[in-house]
Structure 1
Amino acid sequence: MSASVAAPEGVGIEVAEQFADATQQRHAAQLGMWAWLLTELLLFAGLFLCAAVLHVTHPAAVARAARHLKVWIGAANTAVLICSSLTMTGAITASRHGWRRWMLRCLLATAALGTLFLLLKGFEYYQDYLEHMTPFLDRPYALAGEPATRLYIDLYFLTTALHALHLTTGVAILLGMTWIARKPRFLHRHQNWIEVYGLYWHFIDLIWIMVFTLIYVVPR
């Protein structure tokens, strides 16, 4: 069973019977997402800690490795994801006011920016491949002289690939949700989906800012 109530922003939202109102339902959904995001943060925190330890114990080797990273691509991707956070915020705001058409446009813009990030990251990986920096391939490795240097490059690939996996999943979910949101009564039943997914997308953006700062910039 569900009851139709008016959200604070004026959108009539169907509330599950275990919740008193739409606000309580939204807060419960957000709490669940925050709990899961904290576990993901712990995963990335371990990688950041490894990078920090390498930087402290082998500063010269890490600096040598960091000079091979494409900072301009990392900076461009940072700008792309910051813009995607703005469009995601626009989608959340539009969903709260019941502006379904604007919400769909903002969701599609967010997906497009996420795809642009992945294309730039793929180009960066291709450049790394041409420079013989890609690990696990049967070919001469450009930074094989010092173990700490190679370890840092391996850590760079692991961290950025893990982030790219999260972003790819996010874009896929976003496109699926955009397709479902085309239905007229989507916001009355699933406005919480936009709220909760917005937390996930902002988390992806925040993690990348940390990756760019700690992996690309600080070691240089």
Structure 2
Amino acid sequence: MTTIGIAGAGTMGTSIARHLAGAGHDILLAGRDMEKVKAAAATAGERVRAVDVAEAADAEMFLPALWYPGTVDLAREHAAALAGKIVIDIANPLDETFTGLSLAPTTSAAEELVRGVDGIRVVKAFNTVPGPVMSAGSFKGTTPLDVFVASDDAEAKQQVLALLGGSVFRGVDAGSLANARLLERMCAFGIELSQRYDLGFEFAFKFLPEQL
């Protein structure tokens, strides 16, 4: 089992904390508003503990559940604690329309995290699952959620895929970190389709076949 520090007690951070705790991992949930963090941790299970961000950064893995570029700013702030550790990037650099990206197609939020902070092992994951679906843990109660996992660090990617074992998620090896550009665009495209068909954020991406 792994100890994961999660910075951000919003829908995404709290939902990921709850699901990974349900798979037997210990979660250190953090944020700047400790009252909010404590309330979120209390709903996320016995294995979730409210801490400050510095303590969360000391965990075995670190997941900033923040908007880009706040992910980069936070990782820089705790660069010493994060050196050599796996940092799971879930961010989508959405523009003001939520259907486009604020970054050029030649990069991604995950790659900017690599460039911005020396010595961390960045793995892209969870970014294609919208908040309401992430909270539910499945799509409409029937379809398990696929989490696409991309990294240039093969060992780190395998550790994150293993982290998903026994959880509500199915990990899908999504190749190199450059594929984060596509994964982030997938999220924006999903929101565009969701708006077109008046679905809110109730959508998910599924890779078929079921058995890989």
TM-score > 0.5 by shorter chain: no
Compute the TM-score of the two structures, normalised by the length of structure 1. 0.25
Structure with higher strand content:
2
Say which structure, 1 or 2, has more relative contact order (CA 8 Å, 6+ apart): 1
Compute the TM-score of the two structures, normalised by the length of structure 2. 0.25
Structure with higher helix content:
1
Greater Cα radius of gyration, structure 1 or 2 = 1
